[in-house]
Amino acid sequence: MKKNELDGYTVELGSNQPLNLDCGVELRHFVMAFQTYGKLNKNKTNAILVCHALTGDQHAANTHPLTGKQGWWDNMIGPGKPLDTERFMIICINVLGGCMGSTGPGEINPENGEPWGLTFPVVTIADMVRAQARVLDYLGINKLFSVIGGSMGGMQTLQWASLYPEKICTAIPIASAARHSAQNIAFHEVGRQAIIADPRWENGSYAKKNVTPKSGLAVARMAAHVTYLSQAALRRKFGRRLQNRQEKTYGFGADFQVESYLRHQGTSFVDRFDANSYLYMTRAMDYFDLANENNGSLANAFKNTPIRFCIFSFTSDWLFPTSESREIVHALNAEAANVSFVEIESDKGHDAFLLDEPEFHKILSGFINGAAPQFGL
């Protein structure tokens, strides 16, 4: 295991036991990058795995080495916070296929010394989870107190509960779903086509030509970011207010504040994310269908599960609406699972799970504090 400022900890895996991917490929050499917060107890029973979303990474609660900004869940992880680092060790792993140190299309293929590009095998949410499980095996953590994540992180949480019910005590999927909807696949395809249409994408081989499809990736990010907000949030933050001007310019610059905001989101994103990783990770989300993996029954995914669940949704989230969380709850109820479900009143859209939502934080803390003694913590 190594440590550096950019990636955090990295561990090389697969040489003794290849990772069998759902696409049929054996990954014989792969690296996983992760960060930890807090200390592991003597019995190694107090670990919480935080699964990041599509555009997140392992830098959940530390200053990001590329942007200089605080981690994406800094309001959630730390001393006295819902994920209390004085009580638990928090682990966040950059997913397989990501672009912050874990093996993905932007990394070097050890077989030929060249960037993987589109020769990297297509990965699934299940592949990501199996790779995470290898990291925990390496660390000697046999059982997690909890797995938690929002959006794509929630998909990983559900996959963990299905694949490894014996390895986790509690599962907390947030603003997520057991399968990607047709609407969300459509939004992802718009983003992917924006990247592919950029001449600098070079059929996925842009790294070999030392160029970057920045325009396409920026547009993909802009389109996606709209889906993370709500109409109420957009109205409150921007309305129809003009950007640093008193009158319309009658041109195609960023006349409106909302346009300027989206352009900033796009241009800043390309400095920290890989375009091919965006293709791979959106495809992994599109392929996710937990019922289909279990003979068409979502309940079968959680058969005889011993896990204690707490599921959260947000009223203004139209990307992963409450109805999709209810489907998960119904499936768990069919298996007589121990499940709590909370719909949080919020006008902040899908991104609410990343923002300051006192009710969400309070209820999450209550669930964790209530469950911990049950598992000797």
Task: Compute the Cα dihedral for 108, 112, 113, 115 and give only its sign.
Answer: negative
**Dihedral sign of CA atoms 7, 93, 265, 234 in order:** negative
Annotation marks residue 317 as catalytic: yes
Distances (CA, A) of 164 to 109, 112, 158, 173: 29, 34, 10, 15
Q: Which of 84, 127, 255, 317 is catalytic?
A: 317
- Structural tokens at position 107: 């990394």
Nearest to 343 by CA among 174, 220, 208: 174
Given the residues 151, 162, 215, 277, the one annotated as active site: 151
Distance CA 125, CA 301 (A): 14
Annotated catalytic, 215?
no
Do 312 and 172 touch, CB atoms closer than 8 A? Answer: yes
Work out the angle at residue 131's Cα, subtended by the Cα atoms of residues 171 and 289, and round it to the nearest 5 degrees. 60
Instruction: Report d(CA 372, CA 377) in Å as an integer.
Output: 5
Q: In the β-sheet with 8-13, what is the strand arrangement from edge to edge?
A: 2-4, 8-13, 30-37, 89-93, 47-51, 144-150, 168-174, 308-314, 338-344
Catalytic residue among 127, 325, 350, 351: 350
264 tagged catalytic:
no
**Exposed / middle / buried, residue 111 (Cβ in 10 Å: 0-12, 13-18, 19+):** exposed
> How far is the first Cα of the chain from the last one, in angstroms, to the nearest whole number?
28
Catalytic residues: 151, 317, 350
